[in-house]
Amino acid sequence: MTNPSDPSGKARREFLRRLGGVAVACTGAAACSVAPQSGGPVAGPDPSPVKDYDWTKHHWAFGVDATKCIGCLRCVEACKTENDVPGDAHHFNTWIERYVYLEGETKARIDSHHDPVNIAASGSEKEFRFANRYQDAKVEKAFFVPKLCNQCTHPACVQVCPTGATYKSKDGVVLIDDKYCIGCQYCVQACPYGARYFNPTKGVTQKCYWCYHRITKGLRPACVEACPVGARIFGDRNDKQSPISLFIRNNRVQVLRPESGNEPNVFYVGIDKEVS
Amino acid sequence: MEPVGFWGHLVEIAPYTGYVYPNETAIPWTVLIVVYPYLTGLVAGAFTVSSLYHVFGMERFKPVGQFALLTALAFMLFVPLPLLLHLGHAERAFNTMLTPHWTSAMAMFGMFASFYLLLLMLEIWFMFRPYAVRKAQQTSGFIGRLWHLASLGSDDLSAKAMRYDEKWIFALAVVGIPSAHGLHGYVGFIFGSLKSREWWSSDLMPVVFLFSAIISGVALLIVLYVLSCRLRKIPVDLACLKGLAYVLWGFAMFTLALEGLEFANIMYKGREGIEMIVQYVTGPLLVPFFILQFSLGAVIPITLLTYMIWRGTTGKALIAGVTVSALLVLFQVWMMRWNVVIGGQEIAKTGKGLLTYQMVLFHKEGLLTAIAVAIAPLFVLLAMVRVLPPWSAGAHAHQRSVS
Amino acid sequence: MPRHISRLLLLFVGAGILALVARWYFTADTFYQFGHFRGKAVGEIAAKEPAYQTARYCEDCHTERHAQWSANNHKSVNCEVCHGAAKGHPENGKLPIPADTRKLCTLCHERMAERPRPQPQIDPAQHSPGQQCIVCHNPHAPKLAGVVAKVAGDAAAGAKTHAARCADCHGAAGVSPNDSWPNLAGQHGAYLVGILAAYKSGAQTDAMMSPIAQGLSDAEIQNLATYYAGLRCEAKPRKSRLGDPAAGKALAKNCAACHGDAGIGGNPAWPNIAGQAPEYLVNSLKAFRAGLRKDPMMAGVVRGLSDTDIANLAAFYSAQNCAPAAKVKETP
């Protein structure tokens, strides 16, 4: 049991202050019902928890144009660096999938950079590269699909979190409080997209959060910044001329697994029936 | 990029076939999460037997009535342990109680479990209050003071007080039935409510969990009761044993039907990803499901029990047969938990690949820990029956007249 | 009510109150401020320092590089994609791109059926195998000067201009009598159009060539280029005293992608150098190395060459036949 916001020095005084509050509540009201939901007095109204940024004024969204993706994996590299993602082949905030239909085959062959063949091509689990494994095959149709957290409108992961360590921000991003997460991994199970993973070193769950530390400073997410071909689109839906608003307006977009009821906020163009 | 830490190297990475999401290659829930519903199930099942005696007044279960309650408590005490061992930050576990997130099945479980544990302890306290009072009067010194404290400083064993107690016990036992079963149904809900996994996402899951819980608890009591008679060198009460065998037999058949229904549902509906499920069921699941859980764990004990009940077997043959059946049922339910918890995670969320969970021996979440956690309640129970002998005539409910 | 019951109830009430107070005390300060989470956590997450600083961060110091990059084909590839995250730079040291540029560049440019068609792609087995990419390509302006100029002039008119203005230095038959000047006979027309246009515009300067080129019209340049391209090179392979042709041959492997195995290249944008005077070749390479002749690709190539290397290369190329019997196959 920890009180993450309380450095131990202040804890005692704070406790006495709160205890006084209880006493007042008990003498003042007939029923001594403490309402812990108030969470103690909060100093003044605070419209936004982030400095110099009003989270009620934004509505972030993400677009993926799979017809542009070249599978260079610079986004994965950038993301791993930007967000302290464990440097191995089992933990990714974002990843790229490759779908290849060979002549005479009806099912796509799917792989990602965590496949041993691709790790062999890159040289290590800390580098990312798609092996040119189909260069001698007769490829009928093939493409890459970037994946990341969908920051769903009805996130299954938030629904199942027992503590409130993961939540939906007012500007549309699902965040994780890594000082509050108990590491039960229920959210990892609940996400139908495989976007979440458990960080065994930190003992908490992690996932893509659209580089919340960047977008609240006016920067784009690291993967968008790194994409050399503009396959990743990011912006504010409240701004009708933002790249994402234009992307959604000018394309027939779709989302992954709409039947899950999660209402994802990553909009795709150019994916195929096998992509889910 | 963050360096891969100590646990990161140790946690087993699951080999896979087909396509699985990169993050899926580390299996989130390990063998400890198999132990957890197993223990919860034993609690619910043991409590069922005690209810048969205390609420439904089935006198033949008198020899195990109170022992069942102690068994439930001993196992209930250990239910949180596998969860705590599994958590990335066990020291923050109380966050689920401080700020329980009401939409989370897991937060609700914390509340349910605490409530039920309290209820169980209360019922046992009332049950053994006369014993504690007598002990407080007979014993002197520190131990005596402890007994005094345990009886809350009151030695009131008057007829009026006993009537009060009986009302409480009955009320607690009545509330306990939905609590114990609700608790375990809830464990099923933790799995069944997840839409991300076809193998889990089933409305029948809570019911299946519940009924398998009941049979596991009854089976455990059979084994422990027979064992305790051996240890105490007294003959097994055959009426009681046969009663337990009837309960086991009936519920086992019902469980089998439910599991069959659930399985049929998944296969018949054949939704997205069914090809992988078929591949899984006919491949890696063949031995653990069809042979171990279904044949060895369900069909054989049911056949054996049917035969014995049909032939009216009695005496040593009955004891041996029922005990063997009970052991097999205990094994069946373990395999069922395994096949649900581990099986669900071995079928990739992509619907296009299969993983293989690699259990390690020495690890915070390894096999040895799991075995230790599963066996520890037995030792606690051993100590418990020393302090609170559930067979002695001094205990409360023995005097209770049941109609 | 019996005593033990009342005491039990009292115990319950006490425990309940204790639990509520404990819960109230231990609940994190800003929990419930914005919803069912710790409000402070949002600010903590947002406070993290970005690692990728964007191209604007680089622009202030690397103005010239930034200008070149932003005007060329790699402008969609931000600095940090190849150089790595800029957080901590320059304090923590330089940010060079990986040494193995062949590995780096093929991340995007290796030919794969999975890649969209518009992406420029090469077959690493065919495209200068073993060669580092930056030898020929400037990553900040990756497209080779290989904008192949159209050559469609009048050879007869070109011959007249040649006789009037060029023959003194470059020889009546386009083979220079002086070791300091290049032979022009049989040179690629597109290269000549390009280099003359550069002298004319001032993009390339030379004390002698600049005024002459400035006096030429675009049509005259076309005519000259057509004339020289059609002229058969009669220069004899020569032996150089300056360097070792065998050592030069080994070095010339690095040049073969553009200039051919023996100094006759397939791409008309680049000059043939077989049979040129060794002194001229040495001077040219040194001029590239000193930055006097400007070409991003050649600048990269000569950066690592010593004087001896240059002499050896010159010795090798000057010993080659400038008009081989078998016509070099032109790549499409």
Please tell me the total count of domains within chain B: 1
- What local confidence, expressed as pLDDT, does residue C258 receive? 81
- In the predicted structure, residue A7 carries a pLDDT above the cut 50: no
> Do the Cβ atoms of A146 and A94 come closer than 8 Å?
yes
Cβ separation A185–B1 shorter than 8 A: no
- What local confidence, expressed as pLDDT, does residue C328 receive? 46
Tell me: the pLDDT tens digits for A137-160?
Answer: 999 999 999 999 999 999 999 999
- Portion 210-239 of C in contact with B at CB < 8 A: none
Contacts of A108 (CB under 8 A, 6+ apart): A99, A100, A101, A272, A274
B320 lies in some domain: yes
**CATH number, domain at B234?**
1.20.1630.10
Candidates C13, C31, C57: best to mutate against A (most CBs of A within 10 A) is C31
* C-alpha A68 chain-centroid distance: 22
Q: Choose the closest CB to C77 out of A69, A132, A228.
A: A228
Cβ separation C24–A18 shorter than 8 A: yes
Please report, rounded to a whole number, the percentage of residues in chain A having pLDDT higher than 70: 83
- What local confidence, expressed as pLDDT, does residue C325 receive? 60
- In the predicted structure, residue A13 carries a pLDDT above the cut 70: no
Q: Which CATH code fits C245-318?
A: 1.10.760.10
Cα distance between residue A163 and residue B159, in whole Å: 47
Architecture of the domain whose range is C155-230: Orthogonal Bundle (1.10)
> Do the Cβ atoms of B192 and B199 come closer than 8 Å?
no
Cα distance between residue A135 and residue A138, in whole Å: 8
Residue C85 contacts B, CB cutoff 8 Å: no
**CA nearest neighbour of B135 among B149, B115, B118, B117:** B149
At position C282, the amino acid (one-letter code) is V
Candidates B9, B19, B23, B200: best to mutate against A (most CBs of A within 10 A) is B23
Least confident of B98-112, B210-224, B379-393, C131-145: C131-145
Touching partners of C (3+ C-beta pairs < 8 Å): A, B
Nearest CA of chain B to the CA of C27: how many Å? 6
Provide the β-strand partners of residue A109. Answer: A100
If you count them, how many residues does chain C have? 332
* C-alpha A194 chain-centroid distance: 11
> Do the Cβ atoms of C179 and C278 come closer than 8 Å?
yes
If you count them, how many residues does chain B have? 403
- Portion 265-284 of B in contact with A at CB < 8 A: 272
Q: Choose the closest CB to B129 out of C4, C26, C31.
A: C4
CB pairs A-C closer than 8 Å: 179
In the numeric block, which tokens belong to residue B353?
A: 């690949």
Nearest CA in chain B to C36: B101
Q: Would you identify the CATH topology of the domain A156-206?
A: Alpha-Beta Plaits (3.30.70)
Classify residue B229 by burial, with Cβ atoms within 10 Å: 0-12, 13-18, 19+: middle
* C-alpha A112 chain-centroid distance: 19
Q: Choose the closest CB to A213 out of C28, C29, C47.
A: C47
- In the predicted structure, residue A28 carries a pLDDT above the cut 60: no
Candidates C1, C3, C5, C24: best to mutate against B (most CBs of B within 10 A) is C5
Nearest CA in chain B to C85: B1
| Domain range enclosing B143 | 9-399
- pTM equals 0.82
Cβ separation C114–A179 shorter than 8 A: no
Contacts of A180 in chain C (CB under 8 A): 28, 37-38, 41
Cβ separation A204–B88 shorter than 8 A: yes
- In the predicted structure, residue A36 carries a pLDDT above the cut 50: no
- What local confidence, expressed as pLDDT, does residue A256 receive? 96
Cβ separation A81–C21 shorter than 8 A: no
Contacts of A219 (CB under 8 A, 6+ apart): A211, A225, C50, C52, C54
Q: Choose the closest CB to C43 out of A50, A209, A229.
A: A50
Tell me: the pLDDT tens digits for A101-127?
Answer: 999 999 999 999 999 999 999 999 999
- In the predicted structure, residue A31 carries a pLDDT above the cut 90: no
B383 lies in some domain: yes
* C-alpha B290 chain-centroid distance: 22
- In the predicted structure, residue B149 carries a pLDDT above the cut 50: yes
| Residue spans of chain C under pLDDT 50 | 326-332
Please name the helix (run of DSSP H) or strand (run of DSSP E) that holds residue B6, with its range, or none.
helix B6-10
User: What are the angstrom distances between the C-alpha of B335 and each of B262, B298, B377, C74?
Assistant: 16, 11, 20, 58
B1 lies in some domain: no
Contacts of A214 in chain C (CB under 8 A): 50, 52
In the numeric block, which tokens belong to residue B271?
A: 């939704």
If you count them, how many residues does chain A have? 276
Listed in order, the ranges of chain C carrying CATH 1.10.760.10 are 155-230, 245-318
Classify residue B121 by burial, with Cβ atoms within 10 Å: 0-12, 13-18, 19+: middle
- What local confidence, expressed as pLDDT, does residue C329 receive? 43
Residue A162 contacts B, CB cutoff 8 Å: yes
Task: State the complex-level ipTM.
Answer: 0.89
Tell me: the pLDDT tens digits for B29-66?
Answer: 999 999 999 999 999 999 999 999 988 888 999 999 99
Nearest CA in chain A to B103: A159
How does residue B273 score in pLDDT terms, banded at 50, 70 and 90? confident
How does residue B12 score in pLDDT terms, banded at 50, 70 and 90? low
Q: Choose the closest CB to C116 out of A68, A222, A228.
A: A68
Cβ separation B151–C4 shorter than 8 A: yes
Touching partners of A (3+ C-beta pairs < 8 Å): B, C
Classify residue C195 by burial, with Cβ atoms within 10 Å: 0-12, 13-18, 19+: buried
Nearest CA of chain B to the CA of C2: how many Å? 6
- What local confidence, expressed as pLDDT, does residue C86 receive? 94
Cβ separation C114–A143 shorter than 8 A: yes
CA end-to-end span of chain B: 71
B4 lies in some domain: no
Candidates C75, C81, C87, C111: best to mutate against A (most CBs of A within 10 A) is C81
Tell me: the pLDDT tens digits for B221-269?
Answer: 999 999 999 999 999 999 999 999 999 999 999 999 999 999 998 899 8
- What local confidence, expressed as pLDDT, does residue B401 receive? 38
Query: Which residue do the tokens 């302090």 mark?
Result: B387
- What local confidence, expressed as pLDDT, does residue A46 receive? 58
- Portion 171-230 of B in contact with A at CB < 8 A: 190, 193-197
Residue C28 contacts B, CB cutoff 8 Å: yes
